[in-house]
Amino acid sequence: MATQIPEDRVSERLELTPDERTLLAEGTLSDTQIQARPLAFYRAMRHGDPIHYDEKLGSWLVTRHEDISKIQSDPVTFSVKHGYSEQQARGMREEFEAYLREHGGGYFPDAIMSDPPYHTRIRKLMEQAFTAHRVKELEPRISEVVRDVIADVVAKGEGRCDAVKDIAVPLTIRVIVEQLGLDHGMEDRISRWSVAVTAQIGAMQSRETMLENAAQIAELQNYLIAKMKEREANPREDMISDLVHAEVTNEDGSKERLTFEEAVSLVRATLIAGNDTTATAIGNLFYVLTRPGMAELLESVADDERQLNRFIEEHLRSEPPVRALSRMTTREVTVNGTTIPAHSHMLLVYGSGNDDETVFPEPRKFDITRPNLGRHVAFGGGPHRCIGLALARMEVKVAAREIARQMKNIRLAIPEDAIRYTPTVATRTIESLPITFEAR
Amino acid sequence: MGNLKVIMTDIEGQTLTFEDVEEGVSLMELGKQHGVAGIMGDCGGGCACATCHVYVAEEWFEKVGEPDDIEFAMLDMVADVMKDNSRLGCQIKMTPELDGIEVSVAPASSV
């Protein structure tokens, strides 16, 4: 149920230090240095100017947990549809669209990146595939996949690998390939495609990189369309078949087939959305495990389902893969004392909401005993809350368990300040993480 | 239109009585349909978000039963407001045995 945001509530602003004032005045989320190490910038905004207009980016950054939550529960005032399409290929949308129409079998707007009531129907259709109970059934098979990926790396006997490129990325791709019913051995292509799709909401593309990415997306769409045609004729037990043949139920009970365009967008979204982000969470996990005491903590909970769940949830709170997602105001609205004009682009900065000390005391402390872990916004919230959240949690959990079982003494093989993050406002993704380890 | 009865108290303390609930409808769906304060049901009934948390009246809890492991794991994420009679509304589907059930919506997890 969409609730309208209360406009009369104003919470306290805090005094900033001179350094924080400078950071607030000069900082921008489009700065790759800030993207890589953003917490001080988030804190300055959260304390002094919680809904901060980032001039360089042209977006309002929403940084307090309370405001993120309120905005998420009003999907009508704060449109995902317009926010997403504004962000997509920023400033180059028309060219991007035209390229895909010409080379990629069509331009397929994301059916799930929409507003109610349309969104409600599409969402309902997708939900059944992602319930926690359905995901539990998948766990044994996914555990096997994860075990194999890690075992292969360990078996090389070199005691070193790239935790992102050799483990996190191929692992999540293999899982989604099985679920959707795609072909094996396509890890590299799917990884390239994912990066290209995700870059569309990253707000960091030049015209040149936009066109390179559009070419990747065209290749992706052509591949998916061929697969979908195949399943249209010969359905199998996989999600592509389900989506190609899916019907949505309208409010009056009548049923309607998804259009082919909608189905393409949903297959594409399923392939990409849970892939990059889950890989990011697993990449981050390796990094976290190189910090003092963390490997021991994981080891102590690895065989205790309840504590392991808490460990994973605290990891998602502490290092949310998705940094910020878009909304657009459909009218002028005042949120927590800040008036935002109609048709303004906003980013809900989940990375800041999860670091909000008014909700999570001592936010930099990794504390699996937090009594309110479920309040973190790593999966967003409201009617657009991540649909694949149970699957994502489970994949990260299974990965954590297998890491604890098969690897020990995980250390960074590069200096900490040499870790590079993908230039994007949308996620906080380690691009490559060379590590050393010992087999257990 | 069904004929089962549900009494639901929202987070503001207002008690609502529904007399025409159909068999198979979950308490989350019922709450969401009627805009009951505190029932969000973000994940759509997937037992994956704990935004439809209710306390089941003691005399009804035995009939409803304990949460399974998956549901318990979600309730554990809102441990500060979890009680012995906590359940997720999406996991309670109406049956004739539950005709007349009373629940109150749990507050959101706090600081």
Q: What is chain B's pLDDT, residue by residue, as a tens digit (111 residues)?
A: 799 999 999 999 999 999 999 999 999 999 999 999 999 999 999 999 999 999 999 999 999 999 999 999 999 999 999 999 999 999 999 999 999 999 999 999 875
Query: Nearest Cα to A352, choosing from A377, A369, A329?
Result: A377
State the Rg of chain B over Cα.
13
Residues of chain A whose beta carbon is less than 8 angstroms from a beta carbon of chain B are: 1, 73, 123-124, 127, 130-136, 305-306, 309-310, 313, 358-359, 361, 371-375, 379, 381-383, 385, 387, 389-390, 393
User: Is A132's CB within 8 Å of B109's CB?
Assistant: no
Task: Establish if B107 belongs to a structural domain.
Answer: no
Is B1 an 8 Å CB contact of chain A?
no
Q: Contact B44/A1, CB-based, under 8 Å?
A: no
Which residue among B45, B72, B111 sits closest to A127, beta carbon to beta carbon?
Answer: B45
Residue B90 lies in a domain: yes
Judged by CB atoms closer than 8 Å, whether chains meet at B74 and A136 is answered as no
B11 close contact with A: CB closer than 8 A = no
Average pLDDT over residues A191-196: 93
Query: Measuring CA to CA, how many Å separate B28 from each of A251, A419, B4, B33, B73?
Result: 17, 44, 15, 8, 18
Closest CA to A395 of A180, A158, A145: A145
Report the CATH number at residue B34. 3.10.20.30
Gap from B52 CA to chain A (nearest CA, Å): 12
Both tokens of residue A33?
Answer: 């240095």
Enumerate residues 6+ apart whose C-beta is below 8 A from A111.
A122, A258, A262, A265, A266, A269
Please name which of A29, A1, A6 lies closest in space to residue A425, comparing C-alpha atoms: A29
In a domain? residue B109: no
The ipTM of this complex is: 0.94
Pairing relationship of beta strands A51-54 and A247-249 according to DSSP bridges: unpaired
Chain B residues within an 8 Å CB radius of A1: 32, 35, 39-40
Integer Cα distance of B10 and B15 in angstroms: 6
Q: How many domains does chain B have?
A: 1
Q: Are A262 and A111 in contact (CB under 8 A)?
A: yes
Mean pLDDT of A210-216: 96
Round the CA-based radius of gyration of chain A to a whole number and report it: 21
Range of the domain at B50: 4-102
Q: Out of B49, B69, B78, whose CB is closest to A372? A: B78
CA angle B73, A272, A192 (to 5 degrees): 135
Domain for residue B23, yes or no?
Answer: yes
- Write out chain A residues lying below 8 Å of B93, CB-based: none
CA-based end-to-end distance of chain A:
50
* Summary mean pLDDT of chain A: 94
B111 within domain boundaries: no
CB A331 within 8 A of CB A4: no
Contact yes or no for A73 and B74 at CB 8 A: no
Q: Which amino acid is at A231?
A: R
pLDDT band at A101 (very low <50, low <70, confident <90, very high): very high
Q: For residue A64, which phi and psi values (nearest 5 degrees)?
A: -90, 145
Residue B110 lies inside a defined structural domain of this protein: no
Q: Do A132 and B48 touch (CB under 8 A)?
A: yes
Average confidence (pLDDT) over A311-319: 98
- State both tokens at A292: 């003092």
CB-based contact A123 B44, cutoff 8 Å? yes
pLDDT tens string A31-79: 999 999 999 999 999 999 999 999 999 999 999 999 999 999 999 999 9
For residue A369, the distance in angstroms to the closest alpha carbon of chain B comes to: 9
- Test A372 with B40 for CB contact under 8 angstroms: no
Q: List own/partner pairs for A315-318 with CB under 8 A and 24 or more apart.
A: A315/A281, A315/A284, A315/A285, A315/A288, A315/A366, A315/A396, A315/A400, A316/A281, A316/A376, A316/A378, A316/A379, A316/A393, A316/A396, A317/A354, A317/A360, A317/A370, A317/A373, A317/A376, A317/A378, A318/A288, A318/A354, A318/A363, A318/A364, A318/A366
Which residue has tokens 């969104």?
A119
In this predicted structure, the answer to whether residue A300 has a pLDDT above a threshold of 50 is: yes
Is B59's Cβ below 8 Å from some Cβ in A?
Answer: no
The contacts of residue A247 (CB under 8 Å, 6+ apart) are: A125, A255, A256, A257, A258
Is the Cα torsion angle A248, A253, A255, A256 positive or negative in sign? negative
Residues of A in contact with B108 (CB under 8 A): 375
User: Which domains occur in chain A, in start order?
Assistant: 18-439 (1.10.630.10)
Residue A430 · residue A287 · CB < 8 Å: yes
Q: Looking at chain B, which residue has its C-alpha nearest residue A128?
A: B46
DSSP assignment letter at A420: -
H helices present in A302-419, as ranges: 305-318, 350-353, 389-406
Whole-model pTM: value is: 0.95
Kindly tell me if the per-residue pLDDT of A1 is higher than 70.
no
